[in-house]
A and B are shown apart, each in its own frame.
Chain A
Amino acid sequence: DAGVIQSPRHEVTEMGQEVTLRCKPISGHNSLFWYRQTMMRGLELLIYFNNNVPIDDSGMPEDRFSAKMPNASFSTLKIQPSEPRDSAVYFCASSLRGINTGELFFGEGSRLTVL
Chain B
Amino acid sequence: DAKTTQPTSMDCAEGRAANLPCNHSTISGNEYVYWYRQIHSQGPQYIIHGLKNNETNEMASLIITEDRKSSTLILPHATLRDTAVYYCIVFNTDKLIFGTGTRLQVFP
Please determine whether chains A and B interact with each other in the same assembly. yes
Interface residues of A (CB under 8 A from B): 4, 33, 35, 42-43, 45, 48, 56, 91, 93, 100-109
Taking a contact as CB atoms under 8 Å apart, the answer to whether B43 and A102 are in contact is no
Taking a contact as CB atoms under 8 Å apart, the answer to whether B100 and A106 are in contact is no
Known: A102-B49, A103-B49. Contact between A56 and B95, CB under 8 A?
Answer: yes
> Digit string of B60-91 for contact with A (CB within 8 Å is 1, else 0)?
00000000000000000000000000010101
User: How many residues of chain B get a CB closer than 8 Å to chain A's CBs?
Assistant: 19
Other-chain residue from A48, A101, A106 in contact with B44 (beta carbon distance below 8 A): A106
Q: How far, in angstroms, from A4 to B44 measured CA to CA in the complex?
A: 12
Known: A43-B44, A107-B43. Contact between A102 and B100, CB under 8 A?
Answer: no
Taking a contact as CB atoms under 8 Å apart, the answer to whether A102 and B97 are in contact is no
Taking a contact as CB atoms under 8 Å apart, the answer to whether B100 and A104 are in contact is no
Q: Which residue of A lies closest to B44 (CB)?
A: A106
Taking a contact as CB atoms under 8 Å apart, the answer to whether B91 and A45 are in contact is no
Taking a contact as CB atoms under 8 Å apart, the answer to whether A102 and B44 are in contact is no
Distance in angstroms from B38 CB to nearest chain A CB is 8
Q: How far, in angstroms, from A59 to B5 measured CA to CA in the complex?
A: 22
